[in-house]
Structure 1
């Protein structure tokens, strides 16, 4: 089974232009993502998908594989699907280009269910919410799953609503697991054929309301396998996030 990881990377980020090329200990951020992704045991190949020559040149400079894509894509999924259209892979993994500390084990955790069950068309990850801030923040996407680990819903709102436990909404209740809830980790795994179909589906009501692409899958009647991970990554949305990344890298030396 051939499994290809695709890293969508664009230069024109609204909150942090050029972040894919941000220097982290002498390497552009996209190189950190590429090298960590390549260490996942289930990944056969890694490719960066970009519409920017500067990013493409940087990837080639460190020996990485890159595919130039259309500048007109509105989402990373569309960019992913363009690359997947001429891959021979069975499974395609979308690894976010702003996750320089992505753990290779996280990628394997998300991929594994699709290698074991041919009926699963899409997978992703979740991790425990441990603070009240994350539970309430609309920037932290929450997910709830059924007894078999398939997503019931994703939301920017607090989820679930602990109706009778408002007095327990404190950091220690989340840290201890008294209030058990999960945030979505934005790493996606697709069967290639499903990814190509998904990219052609029209946007749906809940997707547009929440601004969450994965809701298109649920609204269209498909299931998403969600695996809990104990790994924690640090995404880079704004320049100040680089400090957190450097702290983590320095502490691991």
Structure 2
């Protein structure tokens, strides 16, 4: 089974413009993410896919591999689908450019999902992390996921789901923005229309569910700090200093 990693990277992030080029303990956020993915030694190749000359040049100058996007894209998955169409691979792992703490163990778990799926019932695999802190649960920057009894995703939301109507001991899981696709599922995704749920929550994973793609969730306990805000960057810097 051949697997590659693709890291979609936009420069003009709406909540934190230029965040991927911010300094994180001596290297840019995007280089930290690229190196963490490359150093996992799980992939036949790792690429950054970007619409930005600045990010493209940053990766190339550090000896990495980068692909310049041609078209305009609504999501990171759309961006990597364009790049991967003519690349020979079975599995495409979409690693978010603002996830510098990407680790080997959870990536390996995602790839094992497909190795163990001989019937090819799984289209996409992704990660979830249990949350306990109430502020983190209520933070709309933390996407929550609820699953069925076999860990297939039922819904993703920026709202805290499930809603604890009677203050029950509900479990909350944060969605970690790393996807592993069968190549054919990724190419299918790009041809599907954006539905009202995706438009409302601004979550591309809702397009998967709305069109019947099966998303298997894998629990992880990795440190999950996406760089969405300047405060997130400060947290990340503090971790590197430790």
Unaligned residue ranges in structure 2 (runs of 5+): none
Of 153, 162, 167 in structure 2, the residue corresponding to residue 151 of structure 1 is 153
Counterpart of 2:220?
Answer: 229
Counterpart of 1:193?
Answer: 184
- Mapped contact 1:126–1:185 kept (Cα < 8 A): yes
- Mapped contact 2:93–2:178 kept (Cα < 8 A): yes
Residue 184 of structure 2 aligns to a residue in which SS? Answer: helix
Counterpart of 1:164?
Answer: 166
Counterpart of 1:171?
Answer: none
Residue 194 of structure 1 aligns to a residue in which SS? Answer: helix
- Mapped contact 1:33–1:101 kept (Cα < 8 A): yes
Counterpart of 1:175?
Answer: none
- Mapped contact 2:25–2:241 kept (Cα < 8 A): no
In 1, the alpha carbon distance for the partners of 2:16 and 2:196 equals 29
Unaligned residue ranges in structure 1 (runs of 5+): 169-177
State the Cα distance separating 1:217 from its structure 2 match.
1.2
4+ aligned runs moved over 6 Å, structure 1: none
State the Cα distance separating 1:230 from its structure 2 match.
0.9
Counterpart of 1:74?
Answer: 74
State the Cα distance separating 1:149 from its structure 2 match.
0.9
Residue-by-residue CA offset, 1:184-211 (whole Å, 9 max, x unaligned): 1111110001100101101112222222
Residue-by-residue CA offset, 1:163-196 (whole Å, 9 max, x unaligned): 222xx6xxxxxxxxx4322111111110001100
Number of residue pairs aligned between Structure 1 and Structure 2: 240
State the Cα distance separating 1:41 from its structure 2 match.
4.2
State the Cα distance separating 1:212 from its structure 2 match.
1.4
Aligned-residue Cα RMSD (Å) equals 1.5
In 2, the alpha carbon distance for the partners of 1:71 and 1:26 equals 32
Q: Is 1:42 matched up with 2:33? A: no
Counterpart of 2:111?
Answer: 111
TM-score by length of 2: 0.93
- Mapped contact 1:98–1:236 kept (Cα < 8 A): yes
Residue 56 of structure 1 aligns to a residue in which SS? Answer: helix
Residues 1-253 of structure 1 correspond to what in structure 2 (within 5 A)?
A: 1-70=1-70, 72-117=72-117, 118-165=120-167, 178-251=169-242
In 2, the alpha carbon distance for the partners of 1:137 and 1:30 equals 24
In 2, the alpha carbon distance for the partners of 1:40 and 1:54 equals 25
- Mapped contact 1:140–1:156 kept (Cα < 8 A): yes
- Mapped contact 1:41–1:108 kept (Cα < 8 A): no
